[in-house]
Amino acid sequence: MTKLSKKKVLKAMDGTGGIITVIAKKCGVTRQHMSEYINASNELKEAVLHEREKMVDLAEVGLYHHVKKKDLSAIKYVMGRRSVMHGFGETQKHELTGKNGGPIETKLSLGVDGATLRALAFGNDK
């Protein structure tokens, strides 16, 4: 198996978006091996987070350019998900119900026999 070093991993990590599989492939090791190697080092874990933040920044720049070009789907995305603080945006409400819209039925099973239950409820009087 290929010998890893922090320097080698950091160099391979650049431009990957922090995607472990891509970093591993660039270093010639398995994804699992790379994941374990990264998780053993705070410096490498921080570097992965930094790479992922760079990818999010790139996505935001791309979204910004699409909004500037008046791309309706990009505008809808921003208005629906990112403009809540300005009074816009989609809100979702989820309501859970039981069968046919009725209440949710629950059952509690303690896993004790009747004698034990009576002893717990009424004491151990004989």
pLDDT per position as a tens digit, 114-124: 777 777 777 76
Let me know: does 80 contact 89? Beta carbons within 8 Å. Answer: yes
In a domain, 113, yes or no: no
pTM equals: 0.61
For residue 52, the enclosing domain spans 6-65
In a domain, 88, yes or no: no
Let me know: does 38 contact 49? Beta carbons within 8 Å. Answer: no
pLDDT per position as a tens digit, 46-69: 999 999 999 999 999 999 999 999
Give the number of domains in the chain. Answer: 1
Which tokens in the block code for residue 16? 């990957």
Which tokens in the block code for residue 96? 């859970």
How many other β-carbons are positioned within 10 Å of the β-carbon of residue 105?
7
Distances (CA, A) of 70 to 64, 79, 87, 90: 10, 13, 21, 20
In a domain, 90, yes or no: no
In a domain, 93, yes or no: no
